[in-house]
Structures are given as C-alpha cells and as structure tokens.
Structure 1
Amino acid sequence: MINILLTGVSGAMGSMLQQIIAATTDCEVVAGFDHLENTSLPFPVYTNLENCQEKVDVIIDFSHFKAFPNIFAYAKAHKIPIVVATTGLSDEDLQAIDQGAKEFPIFKTANMSIGINLLAKALEDIAGKLEDGFDIEIIEKHHNKKIDAPSGTALLLADAVNDGLAQKKDYTFGRHGRDCRRTENEIGIHAIRGGTIPGEHTVIFAGNDELIEIKHTALSKKVFAEGAVKAARYLINKKPGLYDMSMVVSD
C-alpha cells in the first residue's frame, strides 16, 4: 500500500483526489495538510507538517503557491518523494526544486493530464514542419477562480512548440494598444477566465489561406487527479532526480 500525504486537502483538487485514491486498491491517504483543520475527514489533517506522525511514502501537492515553500522544505528535510502539482510557483521555488532533485525524487509537470503531455510531444514534431509561413498562437481558458495567468500548461505547450523549431520564438502575453502588429519571431499566448471551465488549450497554426487548430479540453478535474496518482505510483522507489509526465507517457 502506498501511503500518501495530500496537501491542499480541503481544496477542489484535494477533494477530487480523495475520491480517486479511495477507489484504488494500492493507495491510501494517511494524512492531509491545509491551512485549516478538518475533523470531518477519515484521516488527520495538519496545519503544521512537523506534527505529522504517520508513515508517508509520497506527497501529492495540490496546495497554494504561498504554502509551497514550507511543504517542499518538509519533503526535502524528510527525503519524502513529492508530486508537485501546484501552479504559479516563483523562480525561487523552481530553483529549489532543481536543487532538491539532487537529493530526493521530485515529480514536476505543468499538467497532470496524459492527453496534454501526449499533445506536447506531438506539437514538437508538428511545429518544425510548419515553421515556415505559419504564425503560432495559443489560447487557454480556465475557471474564474484560477489565480495565475497564463496557465502553466500554455507555457508547457509553447515550450514544446519552441523545442521543435530551428529558430526559437519569443512569447507575447496578450495584446493591447494601437500598434500591436505581430512579428515573425513570436508566439502569442492569451488567457481567458470564466465560469467553471476546468481547462481548455488551443494551439493555432495560421498560414496563408489555411488554419490548423489543435485543441485539448478537460471536461473535469478528474483527469488531473488521476494523473497525479499515476505520478505518485511512478515516483515510488525512484532514485533522486526530477521526473515529469513525459516520462510516464513514454514508459
């Protein structure tokens, strides 16, 4: 049995993960972490991780970026493998992850969806074939409570496109003003926020008299929860290092 410490346990993703994990036969949430205690759950929820006494095999972190530094410091101090699914991390957080990966296993990916990561691999191949004569734009849509913009997934897809190009392009985040003529060396990235959209990403290749649109739509948060559990299983017994969903997709 894989013992999981679930951070951000009272949030929307935390609740979804509890349901997904409860339906498995090889995983169990043994403890949770949140900024508020929750006594209604069948496992202890801590507001201070140092009080956690349960044996933990892996941490799944779907918390808030403000809480991440303390969560990561706990994982590093106890050498507990961690699946990082929190978005909006700072440059300092990302540097800490890179350094920490030298000491213990870390799984970090911009999107836990298997479909998105397969799309990223396909975009890398497609982009090189459409480099000449096509403008590239990315539109991402999310619910009205999402804090960071653009989404980490939009940046993941933009990076995948750039990886497939001979000449790397700059990122333009939205456009506003009276002189916004696009240049050949840019990828436009645009964020839409509204309602309860779990996540939709469209990559557009616009050429002369033809248009290619590649879109991924998440119909619920379930796909991200299921991906996070796959990541947790993948991380068990791994050596120190930085792992991501592209490795799971490739296996």
Structure 2
Amino acid sequence: MKKILITGACGFMGKMIRECAKAFDDIEIIAGVDIAGDGEGLTIYRSLENVTFAVDCLIDFSHPSLFDDVLTYATKYKVPTVVATTGLSKEAYKRMDVAADNIPLFVSANMSLGINLICELLKKAVPTLYKTYDIEIVEKHHNRKLDAPSGTAIMLADAASKSVDEEFDYIYDRHSVRQKRNKMDIGFSSVRGGTIVGEHDVIFAGDDEIITISHSAMSRRIFANGALEAARFISEKRTGIYSMEDLIKERLENK
C-alpha cells in the first residue's frame, strides 16, 4: 500500500484526489497539507514544516508560492513527488533540476492522458503544417483560475515548438502591438468564466482551411486519476524528472 501526502488537500483538486483514491486498492491518502479547510476525517497540517515523517509519494496541487516548501520537504525526506501545480516560475524549474539529482519528480502541467496524447500528435503534425498554417491556441477555464495562459496551453505550445528546428515566438498579448502576424508566432487566447473545467484548442489556420485539435475536460476526475497514476509510477523511481510521456511509454512497453 502506497502512502500518499497531498499538498492543497482541501482545494478542489485535493478533494477530488481524495475521492478518486478510494478506487485504488494500492493507494492510501494518509494526510494532507492546507492552510485552510476541513479535512473531513483526514489529518490536515497547516504547513509542510509540521510534517516530520516520510511518505511513499507527495502529490502537490497547491500554489506556486508554496513550492519552495514542497521541494524542501521532498528533498529532506527523499520523497518521490508529483508536481501538478501550475504557474511555476523559471527559477522553480531550475530548482527542480537540482533536486532531481536526489529524488524522483513527476512534472506535468496537465495530468490528463488525452492532453498528453495530443502533445504527441502535435509533434507529428507541426513539422508538416507550420510553414503554411498559422498556429493559435485558445484555452478556457473557470473564473477562479489565477494564471493565464494555462500551464496546459504552454505545454501544448512547447510540444509544437520542440518538434521543429526553427524557433517560435509565443505571443500573449496582441493589444499593445499593432502589426501583422509573424509566421513563427504561436498566439495564446485565454477565456475565464463560470465553471469551465478546462478546454484547449490548437488551431492550424491555413488558406481556405482550418484544422483544430481539441480537448475538453468534463470533470476534474481525469486530472485526479492521472495524478494518482503518476504517484504509482514515480514512487518506483529513484531520481530524475519524469513526465506523462514516460508513464505512457512504460505502460505501452509492459503490455
């Protein structure tokens, strides 16, 4: 039985992970960390500084401002960690590179299998299309989401960018610059409203033709189950940085 600690345990995703974990016969959520909220029977610590024991895996769905504490705890107790918090800084990723010499980290801006398969599709589609099609990404989320564009939108753009030798420019704001679109732009548009769980469209706009690759999350359950699968995967590793691509590859190899 893998014993799991959740940071952000009382948030929307933390609660969903706790619920979905009941269907995993080899996973037990033993405690959570959250500055506010009721654990509803689960032991909740206000800070990672108060957690003085190791677990088999930490799932982090908290906030970028708490990420230093997450890495400090994980490194101190040698805890494999699933990093699902979005909006992390470049400095945070540099610190992960250092920490990964001592602990395994599973890092993904989106824990959905579908989104990660779309990344693989983009790696095949973009080299064929980018010279004659303009690439734009439209993402939609609920009105409580803080970061824009979403981590998933950037993840999709990165998948597109890494598939060719030429360098794309990420355009986050067209309002302040009045000029024609450049061929190597990838534009981002963000919508925030209501209770939208998450929708992403990668648009290839060509002459007289539009190709759209879309993903719609109907429930946070897909992210929770993905995070739990990631916890299973990363708890068996020793060091290094892993992603959903590695999990999918291992699953296919073991079939």
1:90 maps to amino acid = S
Partner of 2:230: 231
Partner of 2:9: 9
- Measure how far apart 1:179 and its partner are: 1.7
Higher alpha-carbon deviation: 61-70 or 221-230: 61-70
Higher alpha-carbon deviation: 178-187 or 144-153: 178-187
Partner of 2:253: none
Distance in 1 between residues matched to 2:33 and 2:195, nearest whole Å: 25
Structure 1 residue ranges (4+ consecutive) displaced by more than 6 angstroms after TM superposition: none
Partner of 1:207: 206
- Specify whether residues 177 and 53 from structure 1 end up closer, same or farther in structure 2 by C-alpha distance, changes over 3 A only: closer
1:29 maps to amino acid = I
Distance in 1 between residues matched to 2:159 and 2:177, nearest whole Å: 31
- Match runs of 1:158-197 below 5 Å: 158-177=157-176, 179-197=178-196
Partner of 1:61: 60
- Measure how far apart 1:10 and its partner are: 0.5
Write the deviation string for residues 191-240 of structure 1: whole angstroms up to 9, x where unpaired. 11111111100001111111101101101111100100000000112020
Identity fraction in percent: 45
Give yes or no for contact 2:141–2:193 (8 Å, CA) kept in 1: yes
Partner of 2:29: 29
| Stretches of structure 2 lacking an aligned partner (at least 5 in a row) | 251-255
Distance in 2 between residues matched to 1:49 and 1:186, nearest whole Å: 41
Higher alpha-carbon deviation: 130-139 or 40-49: 40-49
- TM-score between the two structures when normalised by the length of structure 1: 0.95
- Match runs of 1:61-80 below 5 Å: 61-80=60-79
Higher alpha-carbon deviation: 69-78 or 215-224: 69-78
- Measure how far apart 1:82 and its partner are: 0.5
Secondary structure class of the residue paired with 1:67: helix
1:229 maps to amino acid = L
- TM-score between the two structures when normalised by the length of structure 2: 0.94
- Measure how far apart 1:75 and its partner are: 0.9
Distance in 1 between residues matched to 2:53 and 2:69, nearest whole Å: 18
Give yes or no for contact 1:125–1:164 (8 Å, CA) kept in 2: yes
Write the deviation string for residues 70-123 of structure 1: whole angstroms up to 9, x where unpaired. 122111111101100011112221111111001111110111000000000110
2:129 maps to amino acid = L
1:153 maps to amino acid = T
| Stretches of structure 1 lacking an aligned partner (at least 5 in a row) | none
- Measure how far apart 1:54 and its partner are: 5.2
